Amino acid sequence: MATLNRKLLRDLWRLKSQVLAIASVIACGFAIVAMTFGAMESLRTTRDAYYEEYRFAHVFSHLKRAPLLVATEVGRIPGVAAWDARITHYAALDLPGRPEPSAAELISIPDTGQPRLNRLVLRAGRLPLRGRNELVMSENMASALGYKPGQKLGVILGGKKQPFTLVGIALSPEFVYVLAPGQLMPDDKAFGVIWMDRSILEAGYDLIGAFNDLNVMLAPGVSEQDVISRLDRMLARYGGNAAYGRVDQTSHAFIDQELAQLNTIALVIPPIFLAVAAFLIHMVLSRLIDIERPYIGLLKSFGYTNWEVGGHYLKASLLITLVGVLGGACIGLALGQWMTTMYQRYFHFPFLHYQIDYAVFALAAIGSFVAAITGAQRPVSRAMKTSPASAMAPPTPPVYHATLFDRIGVVRHATMPTQMIFRHMVRWPWRTGFTSLGVAMAAMLLVCLFFFFDAVDALVEDFYFQSNRQDIVISLSEQGSDRARYEVANLPGMRRVEPVLTVAARVSREQLEQRLGLQGIEPGTQLRVFREKAGNPFTLPAQGIVISDQLARLIQAHVGDRLYVEFLEGSRRTVPLTVAGITAEQVGVSAYMDRKELAGLVGAPGSAASFDGLVDHRALPSLLRHLKDIPAVVAVSTREQAITSLREVMAKSMTIVIDFYIGLGAVIALGVVYNAARVALSERSHELATLRVLGFTRGEVSYVLLGEIALLVIAALPLGCVMGTGLAWGMSQAMQTKLFRVPFVVTPATFGIGMSVVLLSAVVSLLIVAWRIGRLDLIAVLKTRE
């Protein structure tokens, strides 16, 4: 090994704690890239392989009822590679030992076994036998309930409770993410998917020789839109709702959303770490080069070229980065694997392999080295430019000037050490600024990350308390009449009931259109609140349509615009409606109108698809038991239960994430503060030792050095909060999806946590350096030439 390289290694070893601090910052950035891109890649390739192997359909259509012959005709549409006509229905379940209502989407499978599309992955047991009351349950529900094959349960089929035996547990590419209609988060005990023999469902729903749900697989290169249009024309007279592609399929849309959010994180967070790392490398290398100025001169006097000398120091920064990159790769791999197992909680894949995308690793490594070179560039070029003679001479004392601070009375009358602090800060304004900025970045990161918890709280508050005030939503399997309303209203503990009619519809304005469930709301509703963007509530008008702000954005509609609403069931008419109001909502894409008006337009057989209710909480358990026994009730969700399960999921998945992110913030704060303090100590040890010789106490001397850094940290905190708020705003914008808006709310608690973590890290770093000041060797320091 060349002697110069040996020197390099020994130098880095001597500076190991600083090297480690910088390498940790780089490692964090690299790990996030490795983790997020790894998770993205894993999700994407697993999803694609799963879809391919288990023949996930491309186009989906739901209809009222059509003879099976129609499906054969669908098969003749050019571009249709395969089709599967089946029966699906939501149904309430009677689960032994569970007082709360549960529901499932029932799906028929052919008596020949596996369906042609959306094939099942049997995880346990077998498929149902022909004509038997046997079922296969989705794995999410079965494992949440602890069910094994052989379990008995009841299913309310066509209004009648029937006994069934669970014979198999399965996964399906159609239900990678299982979400009950109208819910924010999965609740695996309350909702699942059940497959059973076709003949059972034919009998239960009076669909012998018919189907009400059609899946289509397209041949490669076929226009999805063309097939959808033909399908819609063909199925219209069978009560077909508008067909839709994968983009609108719930499970697929959620995976897409997750991928998009991972992408945002991967692109926004790591550059922050690289910027901090570049700054730290700049700071430490500058100091190293200052210390080694005589040796630089020496090397040049031996005849080493500028490039050889510059390269020597550049190598130092690259080596530090290499340590960080290697560490980051290890952490990233571990975290990626951990994240992959996390995904197994949300997404139900039969296999989920952590994929290592070497190209991403290479790219992240290049990014890290570029950051290192950027940070090293100025100090290295200074080393190169240093003339050998001036490097050999003792450095001229830095030029201090009386500063603005000196004219401020407080400072002028301050003690000498305090004046030294201010002079030093002003003497190196860039370093002062960047040190503060680096610490601020730690606070920024923490504020931005904890903002997500504020956002979820705000989302819950908005969705479950502000926009919707009902304690319970009771969904019916078929549209119910007014009689059903009185039945429900008379249940124990029911304080108020408002029927809601939901009709599948396509809302369009000029070329823009959106499919949704148009909700008919009771006039004078007390359970639904419509609010303008500014927060002022308004009442639902008798005529016209109220749309959510997200829908308004999607179809670019304003109050007073005329929209065309095509009902996809019932009358199937297309009617013009005027936008009477735009209501601010954080979740979903929705539209509302007067319930009776809607029922009239659509010619609905019933006047309600669900009921919103206010409940006396003491009576809730008995109410749930009663609801379980009403055959028409297919699903019941209570606010309490929904919020509890949402919080459970958050708690399970987020605790590790929180620890990790607190760690990230702390690494940055530690890295910056520790390095700033060490560099200052090395720079000023002569000065500090002189003070000690003059009779200053250890505490007084520490104050000169650490007081300055403490001041910078304190200045950085509000800056970090402001920057964090800005970043949070950016993230809330970048993470908007069709399904969710991330509300922009940052609470004082978030600022508090961010600042506390930074302060704590700073205190730890300063204590370590204070301990070093205590060990300062006065004589040795004074004897050195500098």
Partner 1 sequence: MASVAFHVSGLTKVYRSGEVDVHALRGIELEILESEMLVLLGPSGSGKSTFLNILGGLDRPTHGSIIFRDHDLGAMNDRDLTLYRRDHVGFVFQFYNLIPGLTALENVALVTEIAARPMRPEDALAVVGLKDRMHHFPAQLSGGEQQRVAVARAVAKRPDILLCDEPTGALDSPTGITVLEAIEQINAELKTTAVIITHNASIANMGDRVVSFADGGIAQIAGHDKRLPASSLHW
- Give the residues lining the site for partner 1 (CB under 8 A): 2-4, 6-7, 10-11, 14, 294-295, 297-306, 308, 387-390, 392, 396-397, 399, 785
3-class DSSP state of 439: helix
Q: Is 23 exposed, middle or buried (0-12, 13-18, 19+ CB in 10 A)?
A: buried
| Cα angle, residue 44 at apex, residues 40 and 49 outer, rounded to 5° | 150
- Nearest distance, CB of residue 350 and partner 1, angstroms: 57
State the amino acid at position 743 in one-letter form.
P
Nearer to partner 1 by C-beta: 618 or 785? 785
Which lies closer to partner 1 via its Cβ, residue 295 or residue 564? 295
Nearest-CA neighbor of 201 among 216, 219, 213?
213
Considering the complex, what minimum distance in angstroms separates the CB of residue 784 from partner 1?
9
Beta pairing, strands 562-567 & 102-109 = unpaired
Q: Do the beta carbons of residue 551 and residue 518 sit within 8 Å?
A: no
Question: Which residue number, 76 or 401, has a Cβ lying nearer to partner 1?
Answer: 401
Cβ burial, residue 306 (10 Å; 0-12/13-18/19+): middle
Q: Whole-number minimum distance, CB 320 to partner 1, in Å?
A: 16
Query: What minimum distance in Å lies between the beta carbon of 303 and partner 1?
Result: 2
| Shorter beta-carbon distance to partner 1: residue 295 or 744 | 295
Using the minimum distance from each CB to partner 1, give the nearer residue, 187 or 292.
292
Give min distance, CB of 290 to partner 1, in A: 16
Three-point CA angle 52, 54, 56, nearest 5°: 70
Give the DSSP letter string of 56-75: --SEEEEEEEEEHHHHHHHT
Q: Which of 265, 311, 325 is nearest to 36 (CA)?
A: 265
The Cα 451–Cα 746 span in angstroms is 6
Nearer CB in complex with partner 1: 225/301: 301
The Cα 39–Cα 294 span in angstroms is 50
Name the minimum Å distance from CB 315 to partner 1: 14
Contact 226, 149 (CB under 8 A): no
**Sign of the dihedral through C-alpha 9, 10, 16, 19:** negative
In the bound state with partner 1, the residue whose beta carbon lies nearer, of 3 and 511, is 3
Minimum gap (Å) between residue 10 Cβ and partner 1: 4
Q: What's the closest the beta carbon of residue 382 comes to partner 1, in angstroms? A: 15
Three-state DSSP state, 584: coil
Q: How far is the CB of 386 from partner 1 (least distance, A)?
A: 11
Q: Residues near 153 by Cβ (< 8 Å), separated by ≥ 6?
A: 93, 94, 95, 96, 147, 163, 164, 166
CB 491 within 8 A of CB 626: yes
Nearest-approach distance from CB 295 to partner 1, in angstroms = 5
Tell me whether residue 6 or residue 533 sits nearer to partner 1 (CB atom): 6
Q: Of 149 and 388, which CB lies nearer to partner 1 in the complex structure?
A: 388
Instruction: Tell me how far, at minimum, the Cβ of 378 lies from partner 1, in Å.
Output: 19
- Tokens coding 475: 């969904």
Amino acid at 195: W
Token readout for 28 is 């964090």
Cβ distance to partner 1 smaller for residue 139 or 683: 683
- For partner 1, the closer of residues 401 and 407 by Cβ is 401
Question: Nearer to partner 1 by C-beta: 307 or 351?
Answer: 307
Q: Which is nearer to partner 1, 295 or 453 (CB)?
A: 295
Question: Quick count: other Cβ atoms within 10 Å of Cβ 562?
Answer: 12
Least gap, CB of 418 to partner 1 (angstroms): 26
Comparing CB distances to partner 1, the nearer of 11 and 454 is 11
Query: Nearer to partner 1 by C-beta: 6 or 562?
Result: 6
Contacts of 220 (CB under 8 A, 6+ apart): none
Q: Cβ closer to partner 1: 2 or 534? A: 2
Task: Give the nearest distance from C-beta 8 to partner 1 in angstroms.
Answer: 9
* H helices present in 461-517, as ranges: 482-489
Q: Are 114 and 120 in contact (CB under 8 A)?
A: yes
Backbone angles phi, psi at 157, to 5 degrees: -105, 115
Nearer to partner 1, 9 or 362 (CB): 9
Cβ neighbours of residue 96 closer than 8 Å, sequence gap 6 or more:
152, 153
Query: What is the distance of C-alpha 409 from the center of its chain?
Result: 51
3-state SS track over 175-205: HCCCCCCCCCCCCCCCEEEEEEEHHHHHHHC
Instruction: Give, in degrees to the nearest 5, the angle at Cα 100 between 592 and 193.
Output: 70
3-state secondary structure 320-344: HHHHHHHHHHHHHHHHHHHHHHHHH
Shortest approach of partner 1 to residue 312 CB, angstroms?
Answer: 11
Smallest gap from residue 674 Cβ to partner 1 (A): 22
* Least Å from the CB of residue 693 to partner 1: 21
Q: Which residues partner with 167 through β-bridges? A: none
Sheet holding 244-245, edge to edge: 80-86, 210-218, 59-67, 244-245
Q: Could you write out the three-class secondary structure of 665-700?
A: HHHHHHHHHHHHHHHHHHHHHHHHHHHHHCCCCHHH
